[in-house]
């Protein structure tokens, strides 16, 4: 299979769906003439023109609302926010309009719209631009929430999101755009709501999603040196959640660590830790451990911002607790 970047996988997904369906359009900050803030939309303006690849002002509430109206009228907009931190400006549009309109209209309106962009901490962005936003949107019924960690998953899930008749929150990460991976040349879709076992194991389950999947996989390799066989589950979709995959894995291993780059309080990770403790109680041999970012605004100092986030060392320390190694 060809090896391409995560960025290129996203571009291929958008390009293929725009070619397949002329109701698909891309709208957002710098997506057209600048080829996207992270160059995901490179070349799409030249190919599809300014009626389908649309630069917007830096007014998230307004162009998000325009996209929602376009979706209600039968188009399939892809709304790109330069960062999910900016999506807070459009929170009312997302939560009170996009998420609720299909329900409140008794199904008379469909809402085929995708909201996408980078989520979570990057580097030297300080408190206001380093927030992991998964919990905010996973909390809202009516939204589907995706967090793809590999190029393969990014393409297959984005194509499924664009074809879905419901609003989809599609979370990427700045650190992932240059990540390379194998992506088939032939078309494929990944079903929304299906987790993936990125590493098989029998001694311990690590459940995670998004950028920190790669941190979890590194920790699993370190634990393998000590003879510990770790299974790593990539949730991929946060809402709807693949509960069956979680239960099956934890029932097999009897031990579980959840890794989430969000704050610990009322996060996706804390919900999953509760879910495992509740649904797999009889099969657990140790309490569930949560590895998250520290419960503080993100520091600007680089050493401090790294220390505030999940790490291989923190996952190893959690493993010592659940495996009774210390």
> Looking at the annotation, which residues are catalytic?
60, 129
Angstrom CA distances, 180 to 117, 176, 260, stand at: 18, 9, 22
Helices 243-253, 268-279: crossing angle, 10 deg rounding: 60
98: left (phi over 0), alpha (psi -120 to 50) or beta: alpha
CA distance 236 to 146: 6
**Ranges of H-type helices in 133-266:** 134-138, 151-163, 213-225, 243-253
Residue 324 φ/ψ, nearest 5 degrees? 55, 45
**Long-range CB contact pairs, 42-46, < 8 A, 24+:** 42/11, 43/11, 44/11, 44/14, 44/15, 44/18
CA distance 197 to 225: 20
Count Cβ neighbours within 10 Å for each residue of 142-158 and write b for 16 or more, e otherwise: bbbbbbbbbbbbbbbbb
The full length of the chain comes to 326
For 323, residues 6+ apart whose C-beta sits below 8 A from its C-beta are: 203, 204, 228, 255, 286
């Amino acid at each position: 299979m060809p090896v391409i970047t995560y960025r290129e996988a996203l571009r291929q997904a958008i390009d293929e769906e725009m070619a397949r369906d002329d109701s698909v359009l891309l709208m957002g900050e710098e997506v057209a003439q600048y080829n996207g803030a992270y160059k995901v939309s490179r070349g799409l303006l030249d190919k599809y023109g300014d009626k389908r690849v649309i630069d917007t002002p830096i007014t998230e509430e307004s162009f998000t609302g325009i996209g929602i109206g376009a979706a209600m009228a039968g188009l399939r907009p892809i709304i790109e926010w330069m960062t999910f931190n900016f999506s807070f400006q459009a929170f009312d549009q997302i939560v009170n309009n996009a998420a609720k309109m299909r329900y409140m209209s008794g199904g008379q309106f469909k809402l085929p719209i995708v909201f996408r962009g980078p989520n979570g901490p990057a580097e030297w962005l300080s408190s206001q631009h380093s927030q992991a936003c998964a919990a905010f949107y996973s909390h809202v019924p009516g939204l589907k929430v995706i967090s793809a960690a590999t190029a393969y998953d990014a393409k297959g899930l984005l194509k499924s999101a664009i074809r879905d008749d419901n609003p989809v929150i599609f979370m990427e990460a700045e650190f992932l755009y240059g990540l390379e991976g194998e992506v088939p040349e032939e078309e494929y879709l990944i079903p929304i709501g299906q987790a993936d076992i990125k590493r098989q194991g029998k001694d311990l389950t690590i459940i995670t999603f998004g950028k920190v999947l790669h941190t979890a996989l590194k920790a699993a390799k370190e634990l393998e040196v000590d003879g510990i066989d770790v299974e790593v589950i990539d949730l991929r979709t946060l809402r709807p959640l693949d509960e069956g995959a979680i239960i099956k894995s934890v029932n097999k291993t009897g031990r579980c660590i959840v890794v989430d780059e969000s704050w610990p309080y009322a996060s996706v990770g804390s919900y999953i830790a509760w879910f495992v403790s509740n649904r797999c109680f009889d099969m657990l041999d140790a309490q569930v451990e949560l590895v998250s970012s520290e419960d503080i605004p993100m520091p600007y100092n680089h050493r401090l911002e790294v220390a505030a986030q999940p790490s291989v060392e923190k996952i190893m320390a959690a493993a010592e607790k659940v495996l009774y190694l210390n």
